[in-house]
Structure 1
Amino acid sequence: MSGAFFNSEGISALLQQFDVSKLVELSKKVDLLQVIKNLNSMDDQQLAGLMKVLNAKPKNRELPEIDGDFYDVSHTLTPEQRELQLKVRHFMETEIKPIVNEYWLKDEFPFQIIPKFRELNICGVTYDGYGCPNLPFLMEGVLAMEMARIDSSIATFFGVQSGLSMGSIYICGSEEQKQKWLPQMQKLEKIGAFGLTEPEVGSGAAGGLTTTCKKTDDGWILNGQKKWIGNATFADLIIIWARDLDDNEVKGFIVEKDNPGFAVEKIHGKMALRIVQNGLITLTDCFVTEENRLQNANSFKDTAKVLQMTRAGVAWMATGCARGAYESALDYTRTRKQFGKPIASFQMIQGHLVEMLSNLTAMQTMVFRLSEMQDEGILKDEHASLAKVFCTMRTRDIVSRAREVMGGNGILLEHDVARFVADSEAIYSYEGTKEINSLIVGRSITGFSAFV
C-alpha cells in the first residue's frame, strides 16, 4: 500500500536514520507530524511525483543575453563598422564605466582619458580629409549611442569636440583654417568648444544674439557673454558666434584661450552632465584677427548648417542614455530577489521592462533611418527636430521606469540609473528644447510658422 511505510514501526526506523539535533532544528521550521500525515495520505501517483521532484538535480538557469538592440538594427552595419562599434563599446565599458560615477560626483573631468580616447581615432568621424575617418553619418550616431550608453557626459564631450567645434570649421572655415586646426583637433591635440548660447538668449539665437562683433583695421572686437559652453574651461579654441554691428548678421570666430579680453568661469551646481565642464564666457573688447574669422560664416543660416548636422547626434545620444538605463535596470531585476525569487519574475516588473524596451526599440529604428537620410543627402531640419523631440521625451520615460523597478536603490549612483535619470534632463533641453523643435516640425507639416 502507498502509505504502508508510515506505520509506527516504519516511522521509528526512519527516525533512527537521522541526527536528532537536526530533526529538532527542522521541527522548528516545519510541522513534521503534519508532513508525515500528508505523505501517508498520498496515493502511488502522488508519491511518485513527489519523489521525482525531490530527486531532480537543480538546473543552472541560462538567462538571455542583455541586449537593448531587440530588433537587431545594427545588422545593417558592415563587419568593419561593427568592429568599430564594439571597439568603442569595449573602451567605454573598461576605461569609462569604472571611473564615471566618481568623476560625476566630483563634478570633474577625467583628463587622463584623452590620450586613450585619441587611440580610437574617431574624431571628425564623417569628415573627408584632415586625418578624419570619413565614415557614414550612421556610424557617427552609432558611436554617440555607444558612449551615452555608459555616460552621456563623455558623449557630450565628444559631440562638442567632433561635431559642433570641428564641424563649424569643416563647414564654415576656409581651406587654410581647416588645414591649421582640424588635424590637431582630430588627434585631440587641440580641444574645441562651441559658443552660441547666451545667459539671456537660448532658443532665440537666430535673431537675438547679444554678443557683438565689430570690424576694425586690424581685425575684430568681440563683446558679450556665452553660457553653458561645454569644454570651455579647458578648451584651446572656442567657436564664438556674434552679431555684426555693421550688417546685423551672425558671424563666426575661432577664439583662442589666450586671446586678450577672453575669460571663462566654470558653472557650478549642475544636477546633470556633471562631468562636462560648462563655462560662462565673458568677452570684453576681445580682439580676434581676421585670420581667425570663419571665412564662410556670414549669417545664422551658416550656423544652422552646423546645428542641423549635429542635432541628429543628440537624438542618438538620448537613445544611448535610454539604452544604458534599460540594460542596467534589466540586469538589476534579474539579480535582485524579493519574496524568495528575482523581481524580474514578477508580472508588474516585466510590464515596465517591456514598455521600456518598446520605446527604446522605436527610438533606435527612428535614429537609424534618420542617419540613413543624412547619408542619402535628404535630411531636413524637421527630420532632425522630430527625432530630437521624440527620443528625448521617450528617454525621460525610460529612465523613470528604470529607477522605479529598482526601488530605493535606483537613487544610488552605484547602480548607474540615478545618473541616467539626471543626465536625461539635460539632453531633453539642449540643442533646442522640445517646444522649439516641435515648432520646427509643426511649421513643416502645417505650412504655418508659430514662432513669435
Structure 2
Amino acid sequence: MAGTFSKIKSTFNLLRKIDFNQLSKLSEKVDLQEVMNSFSKLDDNQLKALMKMMKDEKKEKVLPPINGDFYEIHLRLNEEDRAVQLKVREFMEREIKPIVNNYWLHDEFPHEVIPKFAELGLCGVTYKGYGCPGKSFLMEGIIAMEMARIDASIATFFGVQSGLSMGSIYMCGSEEQKQEWLPGMHEMKIIGAFGLTEPEVGSGAAGGLTTTAKKTADGWLLNGQKKWIGNATFADVTIIWARDVDDNQVKGFLVRKGTPGFEVEKIKGKMALRIVQNGLITMKNCLIEEKDRLQNAESFKDTARVLQMTRAGVAWMAVGTARGAYENALDYTRNRKQFGKPIASFQLIQNHLVEMLSNLTAMQSLVFRLSELQDQGLLKDEHASLAKVFCSLRTRDIVSRAREVMGGNGILLEHNVARFVADAEAIYSYEGTKEINSLIVGRAITGMSAFV
C-alpha cells in the first residue's frame, strides 16, 4: 500500500504543475490506467488519509517556539516578578543584542547604555531601602540569567555593580556609608568595582592577601596590586580588600576615583568577557581616610559573606549563557539546510539539542531551588559552591555542542554562539574555580577538609 500511495502522490504533484495540453506527455511517464485502478481499490478511510496527506503538504509547517525554559519554571513566578523578567528580556533584546558583537570584538564597553540600564530601576535588586527595589534573591537570579542569555559581559558588569560593590557597602558599611553611596549606585550615577583578586593570589585570598593596609595618624596607607577587577577602568569607587599589617585581618576600603597613589591599567588580550573592562590596580602609599574604611568589615569572614551572596548569581549567569547558546543553536539548525532539508531534522543534530536541553533544564531547576534557600535564609557556602561547580561545568558542555551543530559557522560572531563559547571559560573560573568550590562541597559532605 505504501508503494501505491507513493505513486498516487507523485502523480497528483505532477498534475498540479501541468495543463491539459501536457497530459499526452504525462501518459508517457505515468501509467494513468494503473493509477486509476489503484484509486478504485482504496476504501473510504484510505481515500480520506490520502487527501489529508495532500492537504497537509500544502500547509506551511508551524514550528514550536524557541524556548529554553522547557519545564516552564517561569510559571512559579508571581505576576509582578514575571513582568520584571520580561522587561529585562525586552531591554536586552532591544538595546544590547544589536550592538554586543561589535563591542565584544573591539574590547570596548558601551557606556551609552548605562542611563538606559538605570531606567530599569533594578540595581541593588535585593537590598531594602536606599532607593533599592527590595526584591527576592530569586528575582536577582532571574535577572542575571536574562542578561547573560544575551551577553555574559553585560551580566558581569551588572553583577559587579549591583552585587559585589553595592553588596560590600550594604553588608559591611556603616549607615552613613550606605546613605552616601547606595542611592547613587542604585541610580547608576555612581559606578562601582570590587577589588579582591591579586596577580599572585586568586583562590588563596582567604589567608594570603599581599595588599596591605597600615593605620596612620592621617588614615590608612594601602600598598599592593589587584588584578582582573571588573569595571575598574571607569569606576567611581572601588572596594579594596587588604590585610591589616597590625592584626593580620582583612579589611575593606572605599577608594574614590582619582585618589593619589591609585592607578588602573586596562587588561588587554582577553579571549572572554571582552566587554568587561578588567583592570590591574596598583596602589603605592594610597591614603584612605578612616571614614572610607568599611566600618563593619573586620575579617575575611565578612568578605566571604559578600561572596556567598553573589555566588548564586554567578550560577544563574552560567544558566543564562547556556540558554543563550542553546536557543541560538536551535534557531540555526531549524533554518540551516543541507541535503535539501533543515539540519534540525537529522537524528544526530536532535541528539545534541536534547543533550543541551537536558543539562539546561537540570541547571535551571538547581539554581531555582538555590535561590529559594537563599530567600529562606538557609543558604550555606556548600549550596552556592555546588551550583557554581555544576552549572559552570555543564555550561561548557552546552556551548560546545551549540558550536558543534553550527559547523564552521559556529566560530563566527554573527551567529552569537562563538561569543558564548569564549565567555563560558571565564564564568568557569571566576567566583571560585571548580576545584576550590568542589573542596568546599567535599568538606561539607565528608566532614574532612582537603584544603592545603
TM-score (norm 1): 0.92
Q: CA-to-partner distance for each residue in 1:13-59, whole Å, 9 max, x for gaps?
A: x9981499xx8xxxxxxxx787335x554462368879856677610
Moved more, 39-48 or 334-343: 39-48
Distance 2:129 2:23 in 1: 81
Q: Who is 1:270 aligned against? A: 270
Q: Which amino acid is the alignment partner of residue 250 of structure 2?
A: V
For structure 1, list consecutive stretches of 5 or more residues without a partner in the other structure.
Answer: 4-13, 24-31
Q: Who is 1:11 aligned against? A: none
Q: Who is 2:349 aligned against? A: 349
Q: Who is 2:21 aligned against? A: 17
Task: Report deviation, 1:121.
Answer: 0.1
Q: Helix, strand or coil: the match of 2:69?
A: coil
Task: Report deviation, 1:276.
Answer: 0.2
Q: How do residues 213-362 of structure 1 correspond to structure 2 at under 5 angstroms?
A: 213-362=213-362
Q: Helix, strand or coil: the match of 1:149?
A: helix
Q: Who is 1:415 aligned against? A: 415
Q: Helix, strand or coil: the match of 2:120?
A: coil
Distance 1:151 1:46 in 2: 58
Q: CA-to-partner distance for each residue in 1:366-402, whole Å, 9 max, x for gaps?
A: 0000000000000000000000000000000000011
1:44 maps to which of 13, 37, 43: 37
Task: Report deviation, 1:218.
Answer: 1.0
Q: How do residues 134-149 of structure 1 correspond to structure 2 at under 5 angstroms?
A: 134-149=134-149
Q: Who is 2:150 aligned against? A: 150
Moved more, 124-133 or 48-57: 48-57
Q: Who is 1:401 aligned against? A: 401
Q: Helix, strand or coil: the match of 2:276?
A: coil
Q: Helix, strand or coil: the match of 2:286?
A: strand
Q: Who is 1:29 aligned against? A: none
Q: Which amino acid is the alignment partner of residue 430 of structure 2?
A: Y
Distance 1:399 1:51 in 2: 43
Q: Who is 1:27 aligned against? A: none
Q: Helix, strand or coil: the match of 1:112?
A: helix
Distance 2:84 2:19 in 1: 66
Distance 1:55 1:417 in 2: 38
Task: Report deviation, 1:145.
Answer: 0.2
Distance 1:381 1:423 in 2: 25
Q: Who is 2:380 aligned against? A: 380
Distance 1:57 1:423 in 2: 43
Matched, 1:61 2:68: no
Distance 1:329 1:161 in 2: 30
Distance 1:322 1:46 in 2: 53
Task: Report deviation, 1:62.
Answer: 1.1
Task: Report deviation, 1:406.
Answer: 0.8
Distance 1:15 1:395 in 2: 57
Q: Helix, strand or coil: the match of 1:227?
A: strand
Q: Which amino acid is the alignment partner of residue 443 of structure 1?
A: R
Q: Which amino acid is the alignment partner of residue 347 of structure 1?
A: Q
Q: Helix, strand or coil: the match of 2:128?
A: coil
Cα separation, partners in 2 of 1:245 and 1:16, compared to 1, 3 Å: closer
Matched, 1:35 2:29: yes
Distance 1:267 1:258 in 2: 19
Distance 1:72 1:16 in 2: 54
Cα separation, partners in 2 of 1:164 and 1:55, compared to 1, 3 Å: closer
Q: CA-to-partner distance for each residue in 1:164-193, whole Å, 9 max, x for gaps?
A: 000000000000000000000000000000
TM-score (norm 2): 0.92
Distance 1:40 1:372 in 2: 71
Cα separation, partners in 2 of 1:56 and 1:259, compared to 1, 3 Å: closer
What is the identity percentage for the equivalent residue pairs of Structure 1 and Structure 2? Answer: 73
Q: Who is 2:131 aligned against? A: 131
Q: Helix, strand or coil: the match of 1:280?
A: strand
Task: Report deviation, 1:325.
Answer: 0.4
Moved more, 341-350 or 421-430: 341-350
Count of residue pairs the alignment pairs up? 430
Matched, 1:94 2:94: yes
Q: Who is 1:437 aligned against? A: 437
Q: CA-to-partner distance for each residue in 1:248-298, whole Å, 9 max, x for gaps?
A: 100000001111100000000000000000000000110100010000001
Cα separation, partners in 2 of 1:57 and 1:321, compared to 1, 3 Å: closer
Task: Report deviation, 1:361.
Answer: 0.4
Task: Report deviation, 1:76.
Answer: 1.3
Distance 1:391 1:16 in 2: 64
Q: Which amino acid is the alignment partner of residue 59 of structure 2?
A: K
- Output the aligned Cα RMSD: 2.1
Distance 1:15 1:192 in 2: 74
Distance 1:326 1:45 in 2: 48
Q: Helix, strand or coil: the match of 1:119?
A: helix
Q: How do residues 179-194 of structure 1 correspond to structure 2 at under 5 angstroms?
A: 179-194=179-194
For structure 2, list consecutive stretches of 5 or more residues without a partner in the other structure.
Answer: 8-17
Cα separation, partners in 2 of 1:45 and 1:169, compared to 1, 3 Å: same
Q: Who is 2:111 aligned against? A: 111
Distance 1:383 1:254 in 2: 30
Distance 1:387 1:105 in 2: 30
Q: Helix, strand or coil: the match of 1:253?
A: strand
Cα separation, partners in 2 of 1:212 and 1:55, compared to 1, 3 Å: closer
Distance 1:429 1:380 in 2: 20
Distance 1:264 1:100 in 2: 25
Q: Which amino acid is the alignment partner of residue 203 of structure 1?
A: S
